[in-house]
Amino acid sequence: MRIDVLTIFPEFFDVLDVSLVGKARERGILNVHVTNLRDYAHDVHRTVDDTPYGGGAGMVMKPEPWGDAIDALLGDSASDAVVIVPTPAGHLFNQVMARELSQASHLIFACGRYEGIDQRVSDHFATRCRVVPVSLGDYVLNGGEVAAMAMIEAIGRLVPGVVGNPESLTEESHEDGLLEYPSYTKPAQWRDLDVPDVLLSGNHGAIAAWRREQQLERTREMRPDLLTEEH
């Protein structure tokens, strides 16, 4: 998978060299490129923002640098690329969306700052490829960079070969619409706390039933909004 990031703060993405995503990059499974949007500015001051039409607080990112930068990244792959615009005004990001986006061959993260990007950028590119405004949740970040990092990790780890043991991907929170069960390791006693007896029983049926019950209990407690009829 090819992943492009467009940002005025490329340093935010230096940490993509470490951990699983870093290894996947080294192995050529994830081909991640970060581009400084200012390289596509049209003036010597490398200006990327201007005051909003209609007035109001803050600055809006100018369309021309975005247009030229995304044109350059799309090249001929326009039809199967997905432009992701991190914004608190987007669709809520979740595991289903991460799975779906992990099937794409080319993702372009358009990281806006200030009060956002001139709307015509999304409107224009929506005529040439998929453009998806995506939000991480109901709070406001200063820009799309940190959100894009989170999405790159969530999507990237679902690309085949990035995570060594694919089974670890199916037995985790949100994969069956529930939160994950609690996990324990040695020692069996620590401070005044014991590992639940059932996990030491060797009874795989009882362990599976206990884990399912824990998933339901946790989800009821922490995230009742996730429970549906099927559960």
Whether 60 contacts 117, CB under 8 Å: yes
CB of 193 to ligand 6GU, least distance (A): 36
Whether 91 contacts 134, CB under 8 Å: yes
Nearer to ligand 6GU, 82 or 195 (CB): 82
Nearer to ligand 6GU, 42 or 91 (CB): 91
Burial 85-119 (b: 16+ CB within 10 A, else e): bbbbebeebeeebbeebbebebbbbbbbbbebbbe
Report the site for ligand 6GU in 120-179 (rule: CB under 6 A).
134-137, 139-141, 143-144, 147
Q: Should residue 61 be labelled a site residue for ligand 6GU when binding is judged by CB under 6 A?
A: no
Spell out the residues 6+ positions from residue 143 whose beta carbon is closer than 8 angstroms to its own. 7, 9, 111, 112, 113, 114
What's the distance, CA 216 to chain centroid?
26
Locate tokens 């970040």: which residue?
141
Nearer to ligand 6GU, 12 or 181 (CB): 12
CB of 131 to ligand 6GU, least distance (A): 14
Nearer to ligand 6GU, 134 or 154 (CB): 134
Nearer to ligand 6GU, 65 or 112 (CB): 112
Binding mask 66-95 for ligand 6GU (x = CB under 6 A): --------------------xxx-------
Task: For the beta carbon of residue 3, count every other beta carbon within 10 angstroms.
Answer: 24
What are phi and psi for residue 219, nearest 5 degrees? Answer: -65, -40
CB of 88 to ligand 6GU, least distance (A): 4
Interface residues with ligand 6GU (CB under 6 A) are: 86-88, 134-137, 139-141, 143-144, 147
